[in-house]
Amino acid sequence: IEKTVLYIKERIKKESSAERTINLFHCLNELNDNSLVEEIKNFQRSGKLSNEKLEPHQCSALAFMLLMSEEILDEFDLKTYKTSAAGYQRLLPVLRNCRKAILNSCDLTEKSCEIVASALQSSNSPLRDLDLSYNNLGDSGVKLLCA
């Protein structure tokens, strides 16, 4: 089991798909390994979550934690967290659990639109207010959002 856990953690660090990393966290959860999620909870308790730069895998852990709480967030502001464009990408699945998403100036691209569109198209999506200003979504990204 330890080798499997280590393998999954490595995949989380290397994976670029936000949705796949969430699935990998489900696998870790099934294997009773919550160490990456605990790391984020400790950051949260210490107040460092919005001050320290988060690595993409830490953003995935945060997204997993917020999704598993099943609490609908009134507002999710991506810029609350200091991270890279890849980190922001990994936080996007949280859109499934929020009413208002502020995603302006977060280096989002056409690839990001797939996750945003998925959240918008979900039949029970609580998302009602979305700010995507100052991102480079491109024509095809905007078309995805309009479908």
Q: In this predicted structure, what is the pLDDT of residue 65?
A: 93
Structural domain boundaries in the chain: 2-146
Fold classified for 2-146: 3.80.10
Strand 98-102's sheet: what is its strand order?
73-77, 98-102, 129-131
Residue by residue, pLDDT tens for the chain (147 residues) are 899 999 999 999 988 889 999 999 999 999 999 998 888 888 888 877 778 899 999 999 999 999 998 899 999 999 999 999 999 999 999 999 999 999 999 999 998 999 999 999 988 999 999 999 999 999 999 999 997
